[in-house]
Structures are given as structure tokens and as C-alpha cells.
Amino acid sequence: MKWKADWGLRGRMALTMFLLFALYIVFIGILSQYASILGIVLVMGAFSVGQFFFSDKLTLWSMGAKEVSENDYPELHRMIGRLSQQADLPKPKVAVVDSRVPNAFATGRSQDNAAVAVTTGLLRTLDSEELEGVLAHELAHVKNRDMMVMTIASFLSTIAFLVVRWGWMFGGGGDNRNQAPVWVAIVASLVVWVVSFLLIRALSRYREFAADRGAASITGKPAALASALMTIDSGMSKVPKEDIRQQSEMNAFFIIPIKSGLISKLFSTHPETETRIERLRDLEREMESA
């Protein structure tokens, strides 16, 4: 199966990115009335740039993932190396998380600075074809530069959240008599944060669909990934609650998020597993009829 563009999906992602861009232009225009707040934005921007360039190391560290050698995990390295060739990608760093939660994630700012990590729980849970499907999904995220896209999309949303949280500490710069009260910036930041939060969640869900399709293109086996998603989803119920709590904050990185109540369903970074499986089955039927 060739790597084909899903133009409907790309159109929805492009529209979401355009709405975020328009929202942020308005946000910057409002904050430009407050020199002190803009100073905070610039400082936080510098921190975000640093975070962007070291995202692979920071994410691996926060997840407790350790880079492993070929001697430690020869089969995992061999599989990722072969799939990387099929995806026309440089081989990423390989990491393993010692966790009973069956999951995987990719990180890194570019294709040349990427890492793919799996948990020990995932290695114990999946067979080789299912594991290939999951690894191909993560490599599709790398090929689509999803980590870079989501980092950029989230930047001003994070700034807006900080302005809302600490806005009462900030005052307008210079003579405020001809300026709107500082609470205008705080209210604008709140609106920007809420709207961008929802748009970014939608963008994240679209990119999961794109990565599923990309995985099917890399392996030629949509059914393998569909089977893996079902296995992971059902395996979550067997994981001890303390493991779930430790990992739930990193939901945005995982191939399947850890479910934690109504809020996670309303604002999920991932589509429903059942919907993803149905789309993969449609791809399987499409390949069989081609």
C-alpha cells in the first residue's frame, strides 16, 4: 500500500491550524497593549524554544524511558530498523519504559532527532505483527512531523494559560489611563486558552487518524494495527491502578490514552478506539479489493 494523502483529513487539519493562527493573531494584538505581559510572553517563548529543541530528551526523562542498545533488545531494534527503511526514515533512537501499562509513544522535534519508546507491558502483551503495527504508527507520527506540529500549535495556548493563571500579578506598561484595564487581557487569554485547547484536541485526534493510515501504508497490514489497538484497550483493565495514575498525565503521547473518567472523553487527544478500528478495517477491505 503506497503512502497516500488523505485530503479530507488534511483539509480538516489545515482548517484547524488556520483557526488557531487567526486566534493567536488576535491574541497577540490584544497583549500588545500591555508591555509587561508581552515581556512575560517573550520570556516564556524563550523557555518554549529550549523545550522544543530538547523535547526528545525531556519526554523520555519524564516518562522514565531509557534508551536501549541492540544488545539489550535486538528484535525490537531489528523491527524498528526495518520499518524505518520501509517508511523512508532515519532509524530513531529506541527506548523502553519499565511499566505494566501496555503503550508506546514517539517524540523528537524532527525526523533526525526522533525517539520511539515502548513499555515492557506492551512487549509482553502484543505478538510480533501487532507490535509492528504499533511501531509503524509511531513512525508515521515521526514521518508526519507531528511532534513539531503539536508543539508549535500548543505554544500560545500555554502562554494564554499562564496569563490567566498569573494575570493578576501583571500590570499594564506605561501610562494606563488610555489603555483598557489589565483584566481585558486576562479575559482574552482565558477565551484564547479555552478555544485553542479544543482546537488542539481536535487537531490531535485528526493526526491520530493520519498516523493509523500511515502505519497501514508502512506495513501493508491495517488489520495488525487494529488487532493491537483492541489488545491494548482490553489490556488496560488488567493494569494496577497505581500504574495508571503514574502514566495518565502523558496521555497525549500514547498510542491509546489511559481512560480516566468523563472529562477525558470530552477533551480526549485521541479518537475513540472503536472508530479507529473501523477505519482500519475499511482500509483492509480497500486493499483487498484493489
User: What are the grid coordinates assigned to 173, written together?
Assistant: 506598561
The helix/strand/coil state of 65 is: strand
Tallying the residues shown for the chain, one arrives at 290
> What's the CA gap between 270 and 277, in Å, rounded?
13
Cell 516518562 found at:
63
Strands (DSSP E) contained in the chain are 65-67, 93-97, 104-107, 115-119
Question: Which letter does DSSP use for residue 4 in this model?
Answer: -
Return the HEC string of 232-250: HHHHHHHCCHHHHHHHHHH
Counts for the chain of helices (H) and strands (E), in that order: 12, 4
Q: Is 273 left (phi over 0), alpha (psi -120 to 50) or beta?
A: alpha
φ, ψ dihedrals at 255, nearest 5°: -70, -35
User: Could you list the active site residues?
Assistant: 138
Residues 6+ apart with CB under 8 A from 94: 67, 68, 73, 76, 77, 80, 115, 116, 117
| DSSP per residue, 70-126 | TTTSHHHHHHHHHHHHHTT-PPPEEEEE--SS--EEEE-SSGGG-EEEEEHHHHHH-
